[in-house]
Amino acid sequence: MLLAIVIALFSSLVYACIQYYRYVARYPKGPFPLPFIGNHGVVDFERQHTGFERISKDFNGICTIFTPSPLVHLRDYELIKEAFIENGDDYIGRPQNKMFEMFAFAPNGGVINSIGDNWREQRRTALSILRDFGMGKNVQETLVQSAITDMLDYLDEMKDRTNVDMHWPIQVMIVNVVNEIMFGFRHKYAESGPLLKFLLDRIFSSKLMFLGISLPFLVDLPFIGWHVQQFVIDNIHRALDGYSTDDEPSCFAQAYKQRMLTNKALDEGNLYAVCSDFFLAGMETTMTTLRWAMVLMAKHQQIQDRLRAEIHSVVGTNRLPSLNDQNNMPFSRACVLEVQRCANVLSNNVYRETRQSIPAGTMVNADIHHVMAHDPLFVHPEKFNPQRYIAEDGNTLRKDLIERTIPFSIGKRSCAGESLAKVELVLCLAAMVQHYRILPCEGVEIDLEPLARGLLRPRDQNLRLEKAF
């Protein structure tokens, strides 16, 4: 009897294994997975950019990593382009996960994690509203410059600039830009500090974020999501308080509310979800990139001096740099590209889901980190070297390198805030270097080893600022 049970169990196990490896064979080849656990234990999912780099190197740019669900990993630029641009419609889904729904306010709501017709409609509407408000153009340039002026005033008033935590002023500046676009008002430096710092920094850095992805029931516990949700809800209420849809809208939330009258796909749940998506996506990434810009400048004094010389000769010191100046400032544009390439903040990208070619419903990760950190076109990619983007004529930028600098990803689902982010990065970096010499604190070495917490972040380190004119 016992023998029969053992044989039955053994046969079931063998059968399950055969079935498992038949299932594995449907996907592009990758590191050998084990039944039930796949490649878990082989990859450190918190430091995916190095883990994926190591285990995907022998598979010609495409492999499957079992997490244990299959994740098809693309790491070469040409393959990512073939998938996301040439076959774009097959790769526009997003995997559905309860953790992601946390910020969604409505089933399949918002832009970042929604799919199908609702994604298309919400993205189209959001971009159209932002265009009406001058996204990436002069209106937003004025708004960004005004938020930068507030930040510079805050720094100017500091009595001691020998040991400055730049995280905080950059954070308020970026939050104020997004807040003004979305909700029509700004936070004052003096009043908003503790609340914003708690909400935005602690929650995003939290390991609970990662736990929530693996253990979705955690999302129902009150301590992860509600702070952010409540913050967004309060801001929307403030924006809509007293607003009549007969009036000209003055911010995103009001414009969306007005469009709800004529478009059935727009409703209250999606209003909250889209505002939440743009508010959250719009600040953490840009702020982290600017924090990288500060430490990279502090580390590379010669590059910073050359950038300042260009800014002072083109813009002078009596006004802030503008978008028009960029045409005459190739080194400044090269610096922003190189900061984004080296910072590589969203190293994990945002996963997509397939419809065809590989089994439908499979998660896909386009490894933008690998492209920017290892593509052979970037000579000595480990070096921070903005000069690499400048063509031989000394003025134009190299298109082949720009094509592979893809921090916003590519294709139909690429970053919806790219043009705003670029305005913020270009203007803020130029204004900071125009006004200040950014230096390490006395006797301290700048540490460029990233912290992998959702985004690749620079380590907390204070800087010394000296007036540059």
Which residue positions form the known binding site for heme? 415
Minimum CB distance to ligand HEM, residue 113 (Å): 7
DSSP state letters, 90-158 = GG-B----HHHHTTTSSTT-SSSS--HHHHHHHHHHHHHHHHHTTTTSHHHHHHHHHHHHHHHHHHHT-
Assigned token pair, 204: 């995003």
CA angle 274, 276, 277 (to 5 degrees): 65
Nearer to ligand HEM among residue 218 and residue 416 (C-beta) = 416
Minimum CB distance to ligand HEM, residue 95 (Å): 11
**Site residues, ligand HEM (CB under 6 A):** 111-112, 123, 178, 277-278, 281-282, 285-286, 289, 345-346, 349-350, 352, 407-409, 413-417, 420-421
Q: Are 126 and 274 in contact (CB under 8 A)?
A: yes
Minimum CB distance to ligand HEM, residue 135 (Å): 8
Assigned token pair, 47: 């430091």
For ligand HEM, the nearest residue by Cβ is: 417
DSSP state letters, 381-448 = TTS--GGGGB-TTSSSB-HHHHHH--TT--STTS-TTHHHHHHHHHHHHHHHHHHEEEEEPTT-----
Q: Are 464 and 164 in contact (CB under 8 A)?
A: yes
Nearer to ligand HEM among residue 123 and residue 435 (C-beta) = 123
If you search the block for the tokens 């598979």, which residue do you land on? 59
Minimum CB distance to ligand HEM, residue 66 (Å): 22
- CA-to-CA dists, residue 279 to 233, 363, 426, angstroms: 11, 26, 20
Minimum CB distance to ligand HEM, residue 251 (Å): 13
DSSP conformational letter for 331: H
> Tell me, what amino acid is at 196?
L
Nearer to ligand HEM among residue 168 and residue 351 (C-beta) = 351
Residue 250, phi then psi, degrees to nearest 5 = -115, 0
- CA-to-CA dists, residue 362 to 90, 153, 211, 359, angstroms: 11, 50, 22, 6
- Per-residue burial over 246-273, b if 16 or more Cβ lie within 10 Å, else e, is eeebebbbbbbbbbbeeeeebeeebbbb
SS3 456: strand
Minimum CB distance to ligand HEM, residue 426 (Å): 11
Nearer to ligand HEM among residue 171 and residue 289 (C-beta) = 289
Nearer to ligand HEM among residue 63 and residue 283 (C-beta) = 283
Torsion on CA atoms 293, 298, 300, 304, rounded to nearest 10: 70
Minimum CB distance to ligand HEM, residue 119 (Å): 6
Nearer to ligand HEM among residue 200 and residue 345 (C-beta) = 345
> Tell me, what amino acid is at 114?
S
- Binding site: residue ranges? 415
Minimum CB distance to ligand HEM, residue 110 (Å): 8
The answer to whether the bond into 95 is cis (omega within 30° of 0) is: no
Minimum CB distance to ligand HEM, residue 131 (Å): 13
**Dihedral sign for Cα atoms in the order 200, 181, 276, 214:** negative
